Chain A
């Protein structure tokens, strides 16, 4: 029998009147004999498998049925959802988790301002609501940022460690000058070449993908920095140097440093670059080719004629 029924029986037993005194006619009591159905049920309940089913299987089954019923009813599910949400919110909004300010470390002040604008956080915010990996990827997609390390500090600050990209070259692309780093990643646009005269200018198709190569050449070409106007990527495989006075130096795709070395040596020995030359072609390392300017050719022809005439 179930517990509440037992408790009720216990109560009624307590409320029952006292037993009759000797020789008082006892009250007519209820027949204590169980009905046939009751007797059969009782004995069925004492069978091993029935007991097992009632004790071990029925409670979990009832629980599962109840859970299923609750799941089926939309209002109940919503109520539970709401309650869970409010609980979660109250937990998140506790002052222990609050982040009250932003601290950006590293990078130029202009970049810091850009980052803080981009994040657009309104403080205070719960640290549980902040998605630090997402913040990190978002900041790192910004131009000029190499690496960002966001971290919630114990004093309630969101500290972002920034590593700025170092501008290594100027890239002219689509008529516009851009600062790029050693990996060829854009940093910011620049208005005039003169703003960053210290950096090499690169241009041409695919120039941004070979910035490292250009930088090596730039370093090698230090003696002629005053002449060197820029490096041009040709056919996405080799570099040409554009020098002052419309001089082009074609460097080979393989081992351009050796060719550059040779150019410098020629210049030092014979002042090659001071002569009237329009193109110096080092593409075939065995046979460098020079092309004179039109005026030089005319001058040469004149000189030749003079020599001929004198001879003649």
Chain B
């Protein structure tokens, strides 16, 4: 793999670093149903000291949420932006609310992309260690040694995470720097997404006078926020049930090893209800939230719900809750079937611990766990996002896992491919020629 591919990523990393130094950062989740924004205040001194004491999770003590804003998304379908103007307005609304809440102005924002058909690849590269001790340059050389993933036209690499290092046959190292050995091998997880949604997102954000300091896939962020540390260590899948898409991220040894998404979600449930009972979408949504469920009981046959008929002037129709559940359940089961297919394709069955954590707005349906157990296996729970200091009560629900995960990610981003220094592959002559050209260009 070549470093030249990741210039924009490196620029975003620089933005993120400067934002962390300044201590103010916004995170933005543009979902199908809602656009939400958090503003974080970060204490750079505590961030540095926390890293020494507590490892990867030490950064949270240095982070505090000082503002939150949520608004309804428009112009987003299946996690992808379809109307730039509307989406931009949603971003402006959410960000302005959060800024007003916090009383500050932020310029750097880390955003989540939930659609874009993410695809995972594995890649392995190796390198000889130059001196006895593994240095950053050795790691970079090993990473560069990875073969290029088979990228289709119109796709971009969003994450390139070194998940495992092997040093002289000793595997499962998370960071080999400073260790002794001769040959270093690295397993890399490369995640690619369609570049059009990514570009649209970047453009939307820039049109709101903001600087993009990073893009993270939403299922990854949701996994970071809703899986506890041991689940990430032992192997677990996070199912992020959004409105437009359902993302699956699989973690092992605190590394993201696979990520995939199904383009079906909670919005489809609402649409089924709307179609089945000919209701307005807003009313169908409300009915789903207030009365929806997955497992019907005998009592539900007698519980009557009345709702205005679509287009009927003041007419109302009455339906039982059992009928409602009868519409919701097949769609939920279809979603779980999709998830199981994704998990099977990723080889989830081979992991030591096969826990599944359901999160996202769709996971709030009552009785969802039972339905999931029937399809996905016994080890299923519904997860809420991690507790972060200063998080308002209305942002603590499972619908905000991806948002909180973004905050978690931004404070302590994983070292990715582009964070390791590029080995200078330039010979002396090329360098000289470049210097001369630079002088010519500038004077």
- The residues of A with any CB-CB pair to B shorter than 8 Å are 22-26, 31-34, 36, 39-40, 42-43, 46-47
Contacts and interface: CB of A to CB of B under 8 A. Distances in A.
A33 B90 contact: yes
Given A23-B283, A26-B282, A32-B71, A39 B96 contact: yes
Contact of A23 (B89, B99, B100, B286): B286
A23 B105 contact: no
A12 B100 CA distance: 21
B92 interface: yes
Contact of A34 (B96, B103, B104, B282): B96
A79 B388 CA distance: 63
Q: Which 8 A-B pairs have the closest CB atoms?
A: A46-B105, A33-B89, A33-B93, A39-B92, A23-B307, A34-B96, A43-B105, A34-B92
Contact of B99 (A32, A36, A40, A46): A46
Given A22-B286, A25-B280, 11 more contacts: A24-B308, A25-B308, A26-B282, A32-B71, A33-B90, A34-B93, A39-B92, A42-B99, A43-B105, A46-B99, A46-B103
Contacts of A42: 96, 99-100
Contacts of A47: 105
A58 B294 CA distance: 61
Interface string B277-313: 0001011001100100000000000000011100000
A289 to B, nearest CB: 113
Nearest to A26: B282
Nearest to B210: A43
B285 to A, nearest CB: 12
Interface string B81-111: 0000000011011001001100111000000
Contacts of A23: 283, 286-287, 306-308, 316
A39 to B, nearest CB: 5
Interface residues of B, number: 23
Contacts of A39: 92, 96, 208-209
Contacts of B282: 26
Contacts of A43: 96, 99, 105, 209
Contacts of A33: 71, 89-90, 92-93
A14 B290 CA distance: 27
* Most A-side CB within 10 Å, residue of B96, B100, B308: B96
B40 to A, nearest CB: 16
A53 B189 CA distance: 51
A47 B71 CA distance: 24
A164 to B, nearest CB: 82
A36 B92 contact: yes
* Most B-side CB within 10 Å, residue of A22, A23, A24, A36: A23
20 contacts: A22-B286, A23-B306, A23-B307, A23-B316, A24-B308, A25-B280, A25-B283, A25-B308, A32-B93, A34-B93, A36-B92, A39-B92, A40-B209, A42-B96, A42-B99, A42-B100, A43-B96, A43-B99, A46-B99, A47-B105
Interface in B396-423: none
B179 to A, nearest CB: 46
B399 to A, nearest CB: 19
A109 B88 CA distance: 102
Contacts of B90: 33
Contacts of B96: 34, 39, 42-43
Nearest to B90: A33
Nearest to A50: B105
A25 B282 CA distance: 9
Nearest to A45: B105
Interface in B202-221: 208-209
A39 B99 CA distance: 11
B158 to A, nearest CB: 28
* Most B-side CB within 10 Å, residue of A22, A25, A33, A34: A33
Contacts of A46: 99, 103-105
A22 B316 CA distance: 12
Nearest to A43: B105
A33 B92 CA distance: 7
Nearest to A47: B105
A194 B304 CA distance: 140
A46 B107 CA distance: 11
Contacts of A26: 282
A121 to B, nearest CB: 69
Interface in B119-174: none
Interface in B187-213: 208-209
Contacts of B100: 42
A35 to B, nearest CB: 9
Contacts of B104: 46
Contacts of B316: 23
* Most A-side CB within 10 Å, residue of B89, B280, B287, B308: B89
Nearest to B287: A23
Contacts of A36: 92
Contacts of B99: 42-43, 46
Contacts of B208: 39
B84 to A, nearest CB: 13
A22 B285 CA distance: 12
Interface in B252-287: 280, 282-283, 286-287
B99 to A, nearest CB: 6
